[in-house]
Amino acid sequence: MKIRDLSILIGIIGIVLMMVVPIPKELLDVLLVINISVAIMILLIAMNTQDALHFSIFPTLLLITTIFRLALNVSTTRLILSEADAGHVVETFGKFVAGGQIAIGFVVFLILVVVQFIVITKGSERVAEVGARFTLDAMPGKQMSIDADLNAGLINEQQARARREKIEKEADFYGAMDGASKFVKGDAIASIIILIINLVAGFIIGMAIHACR
């Protein structure tokens, strides 16, 4: 447990340092590939999880990966504005999406941002909020049902304790998901602001500095 907690702490400190310390393009390429791979892995695990408590680490994992993505956004912005080059992964993805035409790529990217913010982020926030509300509202009824089964002799004290712990874990999970969904919403807003900063500052720095080289 101590080794796992220490590794998580070191990872979060490294993510925070990414926002301040410039990183080379080669390292940024590796981190972007890791970010995409982890996102796909989390998606597959979440889709194949039958019980929410089987993936109870999901809210914490969502917060960590969101902070990691924000750090990657800051590092990518720094390289784009300072060197006009953010590495092969960003360049390859941009060419794939844009198809060699900046206008088309810009429109497609705007559509993706709108879909992420309005459909995915707002929808997930609402689902998490409703899930947390219904779980908390149902807790007294579940507790009374456990007490009734215990008094009727249908379950023993150990089984009742296990059911109560499960109810508490469900409430903690859905409450954490409600908070994590709001954090993701803030990340989506920050991504849109970073996009605007990249466009405005990119044009200014590109014409004032890079054009003179």
Q: In this structure, what DSSP letter does residue 97 have?
A: H
Contact between 195 and 113 (Cβ < 8 Å): yes
Crossing angle between the packed helical segments 102-114 and 88-98, to the nearest 10 degrees:
90
Rg of the chain in Å (alpha carbons): 23
Tokens matching residue 178:
């409600």
pLDDT confidence of residue 211: 53
Q: H-helix or E-strand containing 198?
A: helix 157-208
Four-point Cα dihedral 58, 63, 68, 69, nearest 10:
90
Contact between 193 and 113 (Cβ < 8 Å): no
Tokens matching residue 140:
């007294």
| Residue-range domain boundaries for the chain | 2-212
Q: Give the tens place of pLDDT for each residue, 56-109.
A: 788 888 888 888 888 888 888 888 777 777 778 877 777 776 666 777 777 777
Say what the pTM is. 0.74
